[in-house]
Amino acid sequence: MKIIKENKYTLIKPLNNSLENFLKNIENELSKFKDEHLILDISEIINTKLEELLLFLNISKLHKENGTSFVIIFDGIDIDEVPDELNIVPTFTEAIDILEMDSIERELGF
């Protein structure tokens, strides 16, 4: 995994094209990122299906419970089929927008 820590978030990218290995690595290292806003950039992993992305749902729920954001960058998924608990966006810019919107929601008590 390539990990880039910024002031407001941590960006994580896989080093290979295995979504399964990437998920295992994230799960193994999750305690290190518990209190951080995470952006997972899997945009370069081709042939990814919605069912595979749904494997990240539990991590997303844990982050929301902890008051942090969790966003996946991936294009090519029908966003209407994605559960509300999982933030999937096609670009990095939109991922940053989601972090900002989540922050505003937390401030408003949602």
Expressed as residue numbers, the domain containing 50 is 2-33+43-108
Q: What does the block give as tokens for 12?
A: 């994580």
Number of domains in the chain: 1
> What pLDDT shows up at residue 17?
82
Q: Provide the pLDDT confidence category of residue 99 given band limits of 50, 70 and 90.
A: very high
pLDDT the model gives residue 8: 92
Tens digits of residue pLDDT in 50-89: 899 999 999 999 998 989 999 999 998 888 999 999 999 9
Mean pLDDT (the chain, rounded)? 91
Predicted confidence at residue 87, as pLDDT, reads 95
Residue 61 placed within a domain? yes
| 38 assigned to some structural domain | no
Residue 96, domain member (yes or no): yes
pTM of the predicted model as reported, rounded to 2 decimal places = 0.92
Give the CATH number of the domain where residue 55 resides.
Answer: 3.30.750.24
pLDDT band at 100 (very low <50, low <70, confident <90, very high): very high
Beta-carbon contacts of residue 88 (< 8 Å; ≥ 6 apart)? 53, 71, 72, 73, 74, 77, 79, 82
